[in-house]
Each structure stands twice: as C-alpha cells, then as structure tokens.
Amino acid sequence: MKKLTLPLTDEVIKTLHAGENVLLSGELLTGRDCAHKRICEMLDRGEELPFSLAGATIYYAGPCPALEGKACGSCGPTTSARMDAYAPRLLDLGLRGMIGKGERSDAVCEAIVRDGAVYFAAIGGAGALYGNAVQKSELVAFPDLLSEAVYRFTVKDFPCTVAIDCHGGNIYKR
C-alpha cells in the first residue's frame, strides 16, 4: 500500500488516483461543522487565522476525549458533505488535503481540480483504529467548541482511500 507523508507536496498530489488505498503519516488539522463556520466568519472579518491553511490537510472529525496515557480518544471521520459550503473557499486559500467520509458537492469537486488538491475517504466508523493512530494532539483553536475544536494531530499510518483526485477522478461517480 502507498505510504504518504503530510503535508502533501503538489508533486505527490498529482500521482494520486481515485480508488487507491493509502496510509497517511504526519501532521493534519481537525475541523468540523462549527470550526468551519468560525473560520469563514474570521475570514469575512479579515482576521488572521490561528493556523496556516497553506498546504494543510484537514480531517473532518470530532474526537472522543483521550483515555489516560493516550494522545486521542476514538476519532473516525464525520460526513464531509456538511463542510461542502465552506471547502471551496478554503481550497482556494491553500488547503490541499481533506479527509472525511462520503461524497462531495460539484463545487467541491471543481475546486479540487482547480486548486490541485485531493480528498481522501477515511473509513467511517473506524473510530478506535484512527484514534489509536494519533501519536500527538495539540489544541490549536476554539477550545470552547469541545470535540469540535481545531486540533493539530501527528498521525501514523492512517488508512484512507483516495476518493476524489486532482485529475477529476471520483470514486463515488460510477
């Protein structure tokens, strides 16, 4: 299985094709419904974000609290479609990878191609497996959002499938 390191480079993104199974290692940011709303509100007000989107990969997830001695609790992907309203804007600002579950809107698919990005499907429901693959977790923004806050994760061997690639390939369109 192909092993990829985060953050992804543009060259690596070009080699990815829908349907490939991959293992991701490195740094990613978490963010889901409320965090996306806040990010876009900050952008509307012209404020600087507490993290950089350039080249970043966002994991649509809201973890369980960590058990003692662990970096993270169960942490599988949530449904990506709810972030479709925000994703094209973030992609245009430099976001390069998204990890979630389920299909995306046409606007997101177009932005993935336009911006040379990639969307990975993590396996929905495999919360224990993904939580266990988080080696380090650091709170980055919006602590009041609890599980919906933005965390920076260092992960090892996150199993994913390339779902939508920068060439327009889409595992959900058959």
Q: Put residue 125 in one of left, alpha, beta given phi > 0 → left and psi -120 to 50 → alpha.
A: left
Rule CB under 8 A: say whether 23 interacts with other proteins. no
**In angstroms, rounded to a whole number, what is the distance separating the alpha carbons of residues 162 and 4?**
11
CB of residue 21 to other proteins, shortest distance in Å: 5
DSSP label at residue 83: G
Rule CB under 8 A: say whether 40 interacts with other proteins. no
| Residue 133, token pair as written in the block | 């693959």
Q: Which stretch binds other proteins (CB under 8 A): 7-15, 50-58, 70-78, 134-142?
A: 70-78
Rule CB under 8 A: say whether 66 interacts with other proteins. yes
| Residue partners of 94: CB distance under 8 A and separation at least 6 | 52, 53, 54, 55, 56
Rule CB under 8 A: say whether 64 interacts with other proteins. yes
Rule CB under 8 A: say whether 125 interacts with other proteins. yes
Rule CB under 8 A: say whether 31 interacts with other proteins. no
Rule CB under 8 A: say whether 146 interacts with other proteins. yes
| Residue partners of 82: CB distance under 8 A and separation at least 6 | 32, 33
Report the interface residues with other proteins, using CB under 8 A: 19, 21, 34, 61-67, 73-76, 78-79, 81, 101-103, 121, 123-129, 131-132, 146-147, 159, 161, 171-172, 174
